[in-house]
């Protein structure tokens, strides 16, 4: 998979992809992540990429020309399965959306800033609009990082044990059961005995029951048909 992220603050993303699972995923050749500075595609020598909104009002708007130049340049090199704009008014990001995106080959993600991007960028280039929640961030970089992380960890081979992602929350519409590790006794707080029984089938059954119980308590909406 290849992910191209278009941003006017590339430094925000550089360190995010340079650590832990995301770093290993790139080193292992499972994903290539390229961050592009929209300013490099500015059409003037001052490298400006934003301007006042037509009709007035507070806040600057990202202009179409630099973004169009960047997107078209990338499209000359490869076809993209999705060109995603991260935006608060997009489709709410959920696990089933992430599962689907993890099956794609090449994905572009556009991060907005200020008041957002000129509407014509959305009309002409964007194939999917994604929100990471009902709140407003100052830029799309964190949203692109969240979406990329959720996708990349699902790519086959990225996690040491591929079944791990399948037992996480929201797969099968359930929350994950509680997990424990050593020590078995921390100041009198004991790990449930069943987990140390070695009885795989009963452990699985216990975990399933815990998942159901936790989902009922915390996210009953997930259990609705
Ligand atoms: N004027 C926009 C609105 O009210 O919908 C908000 C613009 S916001 C200050 C700047 C940029 O941050 C957006 O263009 C988008 O790329 C990103 N952003 C902010 N909140 C987001 C969210 N919840 N999900 C995804 N992207 C978000």
pLDDT of residue 160: 85
Indicate if the pLDDT at residue 94 is higher than 80. Answer: yes
As a whole number, mean pLDDT of residues 177-201 equals 98
Mutation test residue for ligand 1: of 67, 128, 137, 146, the one with most atoms within 8 Å of CB:
137
For domain 2-152, give the CATH superfamily.
SPOUT methyltransferase, trefoil knot domain (3.40.1280.10)
Does the beta carbon of 177 sit less than 6 angstroms from any atom of ligand 1?
Answer: no
Compute the average pLDDT of residues 40-52.
Answer: 96
Question: ipTM score of the complex?
Answer: 0.99
The reported pLDDT for the residue numbered 45 is: 93
pLDDT at 134: 98
pLDDT tens, residue by residue, 126-149? 999 999 999 999 999 999 999 999
What are the residue ranges spanned by the domains of the chain? 2-152, 169-223
Task: Report yes or no: 9 and 62 within 8 Å, Cβ to Cβ.
Answer: no
pLDDT at 217 over 90: yes
Q: Is the peptide bond before 166 cis (omega within 30 degrees of 0)?
A: no
CA distance 182 to 180: 7
> HEC string of 182-221?
CCCEECCEECCHHHHCCCHHHHHHHHHHHHHHHHHHHCHH
Tens of pLDDT along 161-170?
878 888 899 9
pLDDT at residue number 123: 98
User: Between helices 20-27 and 141-152, what is the axis angle to 10°?
Assistant: 60
* Sequence-ordered list of residues with C-beta below 8 angstroms from that of 34, at least 6 positions apart, any chain: 2, 3, 4, 5
Residue 225 has pLDDT above 90, yes or no: no
Q: What's the whole-number average pLDDT of the chain? A: 96
Report whether residue 10 contacts ligand 1, using a CB cutoff of 6 Å. no
Angstrom CA distances, 59 to 5, 195, 213, stand at 23, 55, 47
pLDDT of 223 reads 95
Question: CA-based angle 47:73:32, to the nearest 5?
Answer: 100
Q: Is 147 in the pocket of ligand 1 (CB under 6 A)?
A: no
The pLDDT of residue 163: 82
Beta strands 2-7 and 32-37: pairing type?
Answer: parallel
Handedness of CA 46, 35, 110, 8 (dihedral sign): negative
Residue 85 alpha carbon to ligand 1 centre in Å: 10
Percent of the residues in the chain that have a pLDDT greater than 90, as a whole number? 94
Q: What is the mean pLDDT of residues 106-118?
A: 98
Please check the confidence at residue 206 and state whether its pLDDT lies above 90.
Answer: yes
pLDDT, position 183: 98
Judged against a pLDDT cut of 90, whether residue 172 lies above it is answered with no
Residue 86 · residue 147 · CB < 8 Å:
yes
Is ligand 1 within 6 A of the CB of residue 111?
yes
Tokens encoding 214 = 């936790």
Quick one: pLDDT band at residue 200, thresholds 50, 70, 90?
Answer: very high
Output DSSP code: residue 84. Answer: E
Q: In Å, what is the CA distance from 154 to each residue of 53, 100, 102, 162, 224?
A: 40, 10, 6, 8, 25
Task: Give me the mean pLDDT over the 171-181 stretch.
Answer: 95
Consult the annotation and say whether 112 binds a ligand. Answer: yes
> Quick one: pLDDT at residue 40?
97
CATH no., domain 169-223: 1.10.1270.20
């Amino acid at each position: 998979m290849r992910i191209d992220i278009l941003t006017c603050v590339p430094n925000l993303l550089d360190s995010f992809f340079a650590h832990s699972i995301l770093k290993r995923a790139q080193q292992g050749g499972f994903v290539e992540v390229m961050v592009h500075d929209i300013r490099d595609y500015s059409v003037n020598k001052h490298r400006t990429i934003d301007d006042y909104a037509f009709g007035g009002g507070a806040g600057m708007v990202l202009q179409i020309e630099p973004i169009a130049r960047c997107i078209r340049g990338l499209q000359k090199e490869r076809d993209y399965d999705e060109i995603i704009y991260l935006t608060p008014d997009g489709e709410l990001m959920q696990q089933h959306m992430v599962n689907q995106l993890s099956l794609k080959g090449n994905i572009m993600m556009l991060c907005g800033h200020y008041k957002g991007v000129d509407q014509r960028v959305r009309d002409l280039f964007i194939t999917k609009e994604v929100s990471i929640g009902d709140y407003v961030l100052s830029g799309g970089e964190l949203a692109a990082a969240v979406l990329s992380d959720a996708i990349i960890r699902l790519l086959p081979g990225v996690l040491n044990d591929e079944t791990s992602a399948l037992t996480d929350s929201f797969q099968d519409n359930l929350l994950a059961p509680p997990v424990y590790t050593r020590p078995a006794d921390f100041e009198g707080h004991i790990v449930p005995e069943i987990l140390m029984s070695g009885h795989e089938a009963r452990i699985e059954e216990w975990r399933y029951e815990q998942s159901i119980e936790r989902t009922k308590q915390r996210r009953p909406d997930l259990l609705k048909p």
